[in-house]
Copies of this chain bind each other. A is one copy, B any other.
Amino acid sequence: MRIDGLQYANWSEKIFHQLREGGVDAIHVTIAYHETFRETVLNFERWNRWFELHSDLIMKGTTARDIDTARATGRTAVFFGFQNPSPMEDDIGLIEILHTLGARFMQLTYNNQSLLATGCYEDRDTGITRMGKQVIKEMNRVGLVIDMSHSADRSTIEAADMSERPIAITHANLFEWSPALRNKKDDVIRAVTQNGGMLGFSLYPHHLKDKSACSLQSFCEMIARAADAYGVAHLGIGSDLCQDQPDSIVEWMRTGRWSKEIDFGEGSAAAPGFPAMPSWFQDNRDFGNLETGLRDVGMNSEEVAAVMGGNWYRFFDENFGPQAP
């Protein structure tokens, strides 16, 4: 089973075919960066249309059982998430509405301070806010998973501890392997995984050691080390694949409408666009390379299967429905 914990491609029939060629059974896709509730509804609508037009290739996913259906019918199940809490605006009631529409992951912050928590690009991290505490309870209640990929350390640790259900870092790597601002330090990963949470490893070059030149072996060695440190059951892939996106999109991701000045995020004025993907992970057809790479660094077939999809499957199964009373 192959499940990708995060993608934000410029979706097309071509990519839907590549998902099938790559044997990808399920993906979590970002449908909001800075969108309001109303704008996010238009993104749900766009996917509804794709599900209708490409019903032979993709289907909407809301529960782990949908992945079984997708596998049995040769399709990819698509699960929705937001990288920012902007779709819920300042209204806690929108959490259940968005979950009903299909949202299954929501980041409490995207780089900046939000109404709920602090983003990883802020100078000061004040942790989970008053509203954030209420929102965590409500997300727990309905089965909307807290994602702290773009959050600051203290906020992430507090979210992992406060949440009554496991949380996720859907797409990031180990800071000790590649000290990017977006990669995660040991105490952060420990807080998330010790509370049952998941870490999805990112192929986005700014999160990789040696960026676009990162070797498959180095990437897979990092995963093997993480398995030793945190337990293989808490690890998956969250490729952060942004295939076929124009560079205007990475500017939207970074700046949205919150600033009149361009923020280059992990890029720079000299290299403001999307970085080139590593040669061994260009698109969804390359998941087999990851499997080979994990085997080559000594992981056994059960461990490889867990990282490639089994762990996300179990996590989806346990965390997408209403909280047990």
Contacts and interface: CB of A to CB of B under 8 A. Distances in A.
B102 A45 contact: no
A101 interface: yes
A137 interface: no
Nearest to A141: B52
B102 A48 contact: no
A37 interface: yes
Nearest to A101: B100
A96 B38 contact: no
Work out how many copies of this chain go into the complex: 2
A94 interface: yes
A213 B267 CA distance: 77
A11 to B, nearest CB: 16
Contact of A48 (B38, B44, B97, B101): B97
Interface string A52-96: 000000000000000000000000000000000000000101101
B37 A93 contact: no
A298 to B, nearest CB: 46
A94 B37 contact: no
A64 B116 CA distance: 39
A45 B97 CA distance: 7
A47 to B, nearest CB: 10
A94 B48 contact: no
A315 to B, nearest CB: 24
Interface residues of A, number: 17
Contacts of A124: none
B100 A49 contact: no
A41 interface: yes
Given A100-B100, A101-B101, A91 B38 contact: no
Contacts of A49: 93
A241 to B, nearest CB: 26
A91 B48 CA distance: 13
Interface in A26-60: 37-38, 41-42, 44-46, 48-49
A279 to B, nearest CB: 39
Contact of A93 (B38, B45, B91, B97): B45
A67 B93 CA distance: 25
Contacts of A96: 45, 48
A313 B42 CA distance: 33
18 contacts: A37-B38, A38-B38, A41-B94, A41-B97, A42-B93, A44-B97, A45-B93, A45-B94, A45-B96, A46-B93, A48-B93, A48-B97, A49-B93, A97-B101, A100-B100, A100-B101, A100-B102, A101-B101
Interface of A: 37-38, 41-42, 44-46, 48-49, 91, 93-94, 96-97, 100-102
